[in-house]
Structures are given as C-alpha cells and as structure tokens.
Amino acid sequence: MKQNKKNCDLKSCTMCKQCQHDWLPALDANRKSFHFKKGEQLFIEGEEVKGMYFISKGLVKVHKRWSDEKELILRIARDGDIVGHRGLGADTVYPVSGTAMEPTDVCYIDLSFFNSTLRTNPDFQYNLLMFFAAELKESEKRMRNLAHMNVKGRIANALLYLQNKFGKDANGYINLSISRQDLASYTGTTYESLFRIMNELSTEKAINTDGKKTQILNAALLQEYIEQS
C-alpha cells in the first residue's frame, strides 16, 4: 500500500453524504489517502485495529479465515462503502481481513478520531447504526442459508444477489469481475463444486470479442435451484 497525494472524497461515502456537512471539514482534516494494488491487504485478521476505510474507488473483499487454506468471504465492498468497521467494539483486533480485489483508492480515518467523530455527529452515528443493523440482517440471512440451503441454491442465490447489488453492464453481464475461487469462498463451497454447478447453470456460452468464453446463466435454472434447495 502507498499513501498518495490524490485527494479522496469523503462525500462519495454513502454514509457521510447523508450527514450534516459542517462536520466534514474536521473529518477531512484527519483523513489519509491510500492506494492498494490488487491483492494487497487493507487490514488483517488478528492485527491491532488501526482505523476505518472509506472506499473512494475500487473493490474490497472482507473475509475470515478457517484453517490455513479455507476462508469465507463475508462481503464485497465497493465505491462508497465503508470497511474496517468490524474492528469497532471492545476487542482491539480485526476479526476479519480486507483485501483489494481491484486497484483501490481509500480514505483512511484513524480509529481514535473516528470514535470521537461518532460523538460529535449523532447523524453519522445513527447512519452507522442503521448500517450495522442492515449488515446484521444480511449476515443472519446468509447464516441461515448456509445452514439449510444446498450448494446449488446458495450459488444461485449468490449470483442473483450479486447481480442485484452490482447491476448489469451493456452486455447483460454482472458488473463485477470475480474469480471462481472467490465466488466459491463467497458461497461457502469448493472451487470444484462451484465449477460444476456453474456449468450446469449455463446452458449456452458466448465467445467475446477478445476471444474469451463467457458463461451465460440460465435465469430459469437459477430460480429452480433456489426453489429446490
């Protein structure tokens, strides 16, 4: 990671821009601007909590380890999202890691200043509270799905969720470039299982202009998989 001169814009943060703007200058004075290359880690599970990150531009996966080779991706954050907030609370170590999936620019706010800013801006605190409430709901829904849906259903579900969250590009593809390995980690399954099921799900394939093959998902099958699970 490297600190750069480029000014990140806190107003692009979904949570900040709904707040009274008279506090932003103070926040602005305390921010640092960082750039992370693809694959670099913003914060690491088990390390001391240092601060919060507001993503100006990029993509960050938040993941949690299990044993040496397994992990679960908890969330995929992008422009305007906040990450590192799981470091809040009594515990002073990050319970999760954050890794850039693309080159990513962030605003960084020191934890102690972040904490004090909560007190001075109840609006922001309220927004953050609502954000946590939404995250908790989502987390518990996924937890139930992990417990009771089969892999087909979880994959179908994840694809629809990601399509809904990231939208579609001009070609109708999901506006998110993610490796199969990451998609497997996101749905809580193995690379091989994901591979096989993705094949079942794509009844047709397209050849892109660059010569690469793209799988085209069958919407009806997606629905079917969810219902069967």
Partner interacting with residue 2 (select from a copy of itself, DNA, none; CB below 5-8 Å by kind): none
From the list a copy of itself, DNA, none, which binds 135 (C-beta under 5 to 8 Å, kind-based)? a copy of itself
Question: Judged by CB under 8 A, which stretch of 127-135, 168-176, 192-200, 210-218 contacts a copy of itself?
Answer: 127-135
Binding to DNA (CB under 7 A) within 100-159 occurs at 150-152
Cα(29)–Cα(141) distance, rounded to whole angstroms? Answer: 38
Mark the segment that binds a copy of itself (CB under 8 A) among 18-26, 34-42, 116-124, 197-205. 116-124
Place of tokens 């692009």: 12
Alpha-carbon distance 180 to 158, whole Å?
Answer: 13
Q: Buried b / exposed e across 48-84, counting CB within 10 Å, b at 16+? A: ebbbbbbbbbbbbbbbbeeeeeebbbbbbbbebbbbb
In the complex with a copy of itself, which residue's Cβ is closer, 71 or 105?
71
Of the pair 72, 174, the CB lying nearest a copy of itself is at 72
x-marked contacts with DNA along 197-216 as a string, rule CB under 7 A:
--x-----------xxx---
Residue 94, amino acid:
Y
Q: With binding defined as CB under 8 A, does residue 139 bind a copy of itself?
A: yes
- Read off the tokens for 69: 């080779």
| Number of residues written out for the chain | 229
What would the two tokens of residue 137 be? 């709901």
Determine which residue in the list 142, 182, 225, 226 makes contact with a copy of itself, applying CB under 8 A: 142
Identified binder of a copy of itself from the candidate list 137, 165, 196, 205, rule CB under 8 A: 137
First to last CA, the chain: 42
Contacts of 173 (CB under 8 A, 6+ apart): 214
Q: Which stretches of the chain bind a copy of itself, using CB under 8 A?
A: 64, 66-67, 70, 72, 74, 85-86, 88-91, 95-96, 118-119, 122, 125-126, 128-130, 132-137, 139-149, 188
